[in-house]
Chain A
């Protein structure tokens, strides 16, 4: 079974903090994705990566950056967290075939 894991299920951070969300997949997939999920808005693509050190902006990249140093790991970075980044963050691999369990982030 493919497994996509995310480093934290719940996070509480303060405005202005730098936040790292980590995602790891165990099936040697090339494509990995970060989405945010908000009520009534569905899932929106933040960034994706199709290879190590390769990244592309999605629909809502502002305020975020990503890092893909190893094939199995894709990190989402909030350089300076803001309250409007309070959301559920979902990592996926192979486009939208496999999702992680999500990280619920609260920014105070």
Chain B
């Protein structure tokens, strides 16, 4: 069936370093790829998304890249700060009401 694999499951970086989280998806019809940040005790919050007609999108310290041929997409966080510590989820959707989520990456940013 359709699935989204996310790696790594845990990531620890020093404050100021970059963090990269990678996802691969199985359904080539997927055309929308959102990323979520979930802080402790809160619901997921959409932080950035990309559609299949775009290869890269950037929003301040966060960027997402998409390689449709290889069916993978990545989240890049530069100049990490302690408040970036959270669980990050990737997801893939082909429209309609079906979104497949990755299992999540727990990011620790050490001060």
Contact = CB atoms under 8 A, between A and B. Distances in A.
A50 B98 CA distance: 13
B44 to A, nearest CB: 5
Q: How large is the interface on B (under 10, 10 to 19, 20 to 34, 35 or more residues)?
A: 20 to 34
Contacts of A95: 93, 97, 99
B101 interface: yes
Contacts, number: 51
Contacts of B44: 43, 90, 96, 99
A74 interface: no
Contacts of B97: 31, 33, 45, 48, 50, 56, 95
Interface of A: 4, 9, 31, 33, 40-45, 48, 50, 56, 90, 92, 95-102
Interface of B: 4, 6, 9, 34, 36, 41-46, 89, 91, 93, 97-99, 101-104
